[in-house]
Structure 1
Amino acid sequence: MNGDVRVRLPAAPEYSRMADIAVVHAATHLGFSSGDIDQLSQAIKEAVLLLLDPEHPGGSLALDLQSKAGIVTVEAQIEQRDIKPIPHDRIDRFESTAGSLVDSWKLDPDEHRIWLQKSA
């Protein structure tokens, strides 16, 4: 699978599995090892939890996937108005639990947007 995919889901924890499925599918078709797929899957689950605002549920989660040349790039963002920046304790938790599972990641805590990249 080479190309771009956009997935839009309700911004609720019970829909995070759908985001995971889309990312795992892309990695599988690029020939990622099962270990790399597991790491990417865990990183996506943690990223979705990071982005969701438990105090102000609602909105949607937009997930953009790009897969080519053995690299999966994911951009995920909560689309909702009047949302508070992600607190530092949640960012620290993500960094300690999932930051090392991908090759690189970048976060915009004010916009509830994260970019992740993993290569096969």
Structure 2
Amino acid sequence: MHPDAQVRLPADTAYVAVLRMATSGIAARLDFTLDDIEDLKMAISEASALVLADATPSGSLTAEFFLSDGRITIEVSADVADATVPDPDGFTWQVLTSTAADVHAAAADGRLTVSLSVSSTASSARA
């Protein structure tokens, strides 16, 4: 399955703000509420923190967006020297799971990926 949108940036925390802006713009186009967008931006920040913790300096930070009616699934990944899945008992993981649903992590082929989904409360209120 191909993503509906993709953002590729240098694997540096300075670029997380760019990723947050892109994410909020996509969510706004899907009619997410302001609260939903803030939750999504926080989730992206936390996912980025997890994948960038051990990122290789010359690697990339990538976000792939899979869009559906009232829902965004985002896969945030980075090139890492030692691809290990984050501790699910860690603080960052706990914050991430409180702001997003269906949170998963995978480590393979020198990349760490965190996948998360967020649904719009506006679309569930209309249903």
Scaled to the shorter chain, the TM-score interval is 0.7 to 0.9
Cα distance in 1 between the residues matched to 2:55 and 2:5: 29
TM-superposition CA deviations, 1:29-75 (whole Å, max 9, x none): 11111111111100101110110135743300111112221111101
Q: Does 1:79 align with 2:79?
A: yes
Q: What is the aligned residue count?
A: 116
Cα distance in 1 between the residues matched to 2:115 and 2:86: 17
Instruction: For 2:28, give the aligned amino acid.
Output: T
Decide which of 81, 96, 99 is 1:98's aligned counterpart: 96
Which stretch shows the higher mean deviation, 63-72 or 11-20? 63-72
Counterpart in the other structure of 1:6: 6
Q: Is the 8 A contact 1:62 1:79 kept in 2?
A: no
Cα distance in 2 between the residues matched to 1:113 and 1:91: 17
Cα distance in 2 between the residues matched to 1:75 and 1:56: 18
Cα distance in 1 between the residues matched to 2:83 and 2:24: 28
TM-score, length basis structure 2: 0.80
SS in structure 2 opposite 1:37? helix
Unpaired runs of 5+ residues, structure 1, are none
Could you say if the C-alpha distance between residues 73 and 100 of structure 1 is closer, same or farther in structure 2, counting changes exceeding 3 Å?
same
Counterpart in the other structure of 2:48: 48
Q: Does 1:23 align with 2:38?
A: no
Unpaired runs of 5+ residues, structure 2, are 121-127
Cα distance in 2 between the residues matched to 1:26 and 1:47: 17
In the TM superposition, structure 1's runs of 4+ consecutive aligned residues that sit over 2 Å from their partners are: 53-58, 85-91
Counterpart in the other structure of 1:113: 113
TM-score, length basis structure 1: 0.84
Overall identity of the aligned pairs, in %? 27
